[in-house]
Structure 1
Amino acid sequence: MDLRNLRYFLAVAEAGGFTAAAEQLHIAQPAVSMAIRKLEQTLDLPLFDRQERRVRLTDEGEVLLRHARTILQAVEDAERDMRELHTLERGEVRVGIPSMLGSYYFPPILMAFRHRYPGIRLEVIEAGTRKLQQMIHAGEIDMGVIVSDTPPEDLETHRFLRAQMMAILPADHALASAPSISYDAFFAEELVMFKEGYFHREVIDRISREAGVTPQIGFEANLIPLIKQIVSHGYGITTLLEMVVADDPSLVAVPFTPEVWLDLSLAWRKGHRLSRANQTFVDLVLAQADTTNR
């Protein structure tokens, strides 16, 4: 099976048409059509239903699509590994990090990695942990940060941080000096929360379901500086890791009762061998974790 024809097939399937695929591939449309015909002849199976204006995959095409994604991702992985076989002078690391950790935990690690390996391209994608899991499965990123209390069976995970989730209150709040805050007291307040898909929001949603209460969410935002400003001005309270407010005298971090701890891990596809560049990045993150936890 010709890999080029397989790439053209994937492009047509994802673009929904031969012309759109040709534009994405920067080639002439007849070349795409010819490649698909050759692929269908090789397999002796119809791959697209061409009766409608927007071509659609046949049942046989749907089966091939699943294999095509796996095959082409494997080829891409192999080519990248070969480029990096002898040296870390070139390479790429694509890592997904939630905004909270990307802003307050990872900057020193990212800068240290960049300083040691200036030839490696480092791409950092910000998203919620749920979205990052989807991106790992789709091959859009090499690895991502997830909450690993119940890690998916098809991901390999390595914990690098155990952090306590804290209630964040303005310094003049009535509960700011309390040793802890109960779930009932927390949910009695108007809340400023991350949008769905982020690990802090998922934990709060789970706790509220278990407590049988409906959170009073006054603001939804993923911008940490905005969340901190809203809370500091008394328009609600929120949850963050303590590191986010450590240097902000206008905000106070109060632990929950019972306490809420999060295990944060780097994750990648199980059975997928990391490239040397990616493995080096993982080693640096885990070494930093060992240093921090001593």
Structure 2
Amino acid sequence: MSINWNAHELDVFLALAETLSFRRTAEQVHLSQPAVSGLISRLEESLGVRLFDRTTRSVQLTGPGQVFVEQARLLRQQSDEAVRAVRNVAELQVGQVVLAALPSLAATVVPAAFARFALQFPAVRLQVVDTLSGPAFDLVRAGQVEFALTAANPAYADLDYTPLASDGFVLLIPVSHPLASGSKPLRWVEVATLTHISMPLPSSVRQYADAALLEHRVRFSPRYEVEHLATINAMVAAGLGVAALPELAAAVAPQAGLVQRRLVDPDIPRPIGLVTRRGRSLSPASAAMVEFLRQEVQRLVPHRNTVPATRPNARKSPPSRVNPRQP
């Protein structure tokens, strides 16, 4: 038995089952009477049974026809529910967004983007996993998150990287420091001899700082090395030194009594981008979330281009694939 019908044919059958009139059914479904008759005949042929008894005076459902009415109604209901479910996802009436983000981005970009998204699409569930780049790549691969917001290009064959924006480096300074009162950007070489608080190698923040000072043939030697951005902020606020950090990283756990000044010569942009599985498109909710994240990054670092500039040529620049311990 060859079963081959579509939703329109079921609708015509159900209309005839209700009206029991080929003329009224043809008017209702906007077809000619011969077209309705031919459609019903094809249904009967595919099922191998007569659905209607026809005479010149009347049309009546047969026993199999009555059974098929119930099943056709169920099929149309399921079809309508499937269409509604897909439309709800497409229109962000339901769904979820699960993403991974670096701690510095999860603490700055993500909360504001989530808040704006939740106001517009309250039925969509949101979840963020704050982790370093290496674990974030693994989560994307495993399908546990749909995408990752990172500052590192994975450069792996199974992952795609789409740049969204970039943030530059600033010097975090205690308000009592002599450099705190200036407004112009500082040159890296000008601050090389200050007491620095930084992250240990092989963190990318440290790699960027090393590369910037090597352009001036200066070896970067921080006095203090700590793992967490909140600790760096607190130590700078306590007057223990200064810290060269990407703008968004410097905004994590802000402390009173701190001043930021941009670092230039070289002006080193830290790329911020989207990591996804190659060949996999984002869900409508995740695609919408990406735009919210992009807007939030641009709001936080408005002087930066939406596409990161290339890193300056340094004698010892950070590797093209940033170490996965990036904060």
Bin for the TM-score computed over the shorter chain = 0.5 to 0.7
Q: Which residue of 1 aligns with 2:228?
A: 222
The whole-number CA distance in structure 2 between the counterparts of 1:285 and 1:207 is 28
The alignment of Structure 1 onto Structure 2 pairs a total of residues equal to 211
RMSD, aligned α-carbons? 3.4
Structure 1 gaps of 5+ residues are: 1-81
Q: Is the 8 A contact 2:97 2:146 kept in 1?
A: yes
- What residue in structure 2 maps to residue 103 of structure 1? 107
Query: Secondary structure of 1:133's partner?
Result: helix
Cα distance, 1:212 vs. partner?
5.6
**Structure 1: how far apart are the matches of 2:115 and 2:223?**
36
Post-superposition offset of 1:278 = 1.6
- The residue number in structure 1 matching 2:136 is 132
CA contact (8 A) 1:133 1:146 kept: no
Residue aligning to 2:88 = 87
Alpha-carbon distance between aligned partners in 2 of 1:184 and 1:288, rounded to the nearest angstrom: 32
Distance in 2 between residues matched to 1:92 and 1:197, nearest whole Å: 35
- Residues 83 and 284 of structure 1: is their aligned pair in 2 closer, same or farther, counting only changes over 3 Å? farther
Match of 2:287 among 268, 279, 285: 279
Given candidates 121, 128, 136, the residue that maps to 2:125 is 121
- What are the within-5 Å matches in structure 2 for residues 119-198 of structure 1? 119-147=123-151, 152=155, 154=157, 155-178=159-182, 179-194=184-199
**What is the aligned counterpart of 1:256 among 248, 253, 263?**
263
Greater mean deviation of Cα atoms: 154-163 or 261-270? 154-163
Task: Return closer, same or farther for 1:109/1:196 CA change in 2, 3 Å cut-off.
Answer: farther
Q: Is the 8 A contact 1:191 1:237 kept in 2?
A: yes
**Separation in 2 of the partners of 1:134 and 1:208?**
33
Quote the offset at 1:160 in angstroms.
3.1
Q: Is the Cα contact below 8 Å between 1:162 and 1:263 reproduced in 2?
A: yes
Measured after TM superposition, the shift of residue 207 of structure 1 is 3.4
Which structure features the higher share of strand residues? 1
State the Cα distance separating 1:157 from its structure 2 match. Answer: 3.3
Q: CA deviation at 1:177?
A: 3.6
CA–CA distance in structure 2, aligned partners of residues 217 and 122 of structure 1: 40
Q: TM-score, normalised by structure 1?
A: 0.59
In structure 1, how many angstroms separate the alpha carbons of the residues matched to 2:134 and 2:192? 24
2-structure distance, mates of 1:177, 1:146:
33
> 1:237 Cα shift?
1.4
Q: 1:162, CA displacement in angstroms?
A: 2.8
Q: Is the 8 A contact 1:129 1:199 kept in 2?
A: no
CA contact (8 A) 1:193 1:238 kept: yes
Q: 1:113 and 1:215 mapped to 2: Cα distance?
A: 43
Local SS of the residue matching 1:137? helix
**Following the alignment from structure 2 to structure 1, what is the Cα–Cα distance between the partners of residues 141 and 122?**
28
Hey, what's the Cα distance between the residues in 2 that align with 1:236 and 1:171?
11
In structure 1, distance between residues paired with 2:258 and 2:135: 29
CA gap of 1:199–1:137, structure 2 versus 1, over 3 A, is farther
Partner amino acid for 2:150? I
C-alpha contact 2:212 2:268 (8 A) present in aligned 1: no
Quick one: structure 1 residues 248 and 222, their matched pair in 2 at CA, closer, same or farther if it must change by over 3 Å? Answer: closer
Give the fraction of aligned pairs with identical amino acids, expressed as a percent: 18
- Higher-RCO chain (CA-CA 8 Å, sequence separation at least 6): 2
TM-score, normalising length from structure 2?
0.53
Structure-2 residue corresponding to 1:46:
none
Which structure has the larger Rg? 2
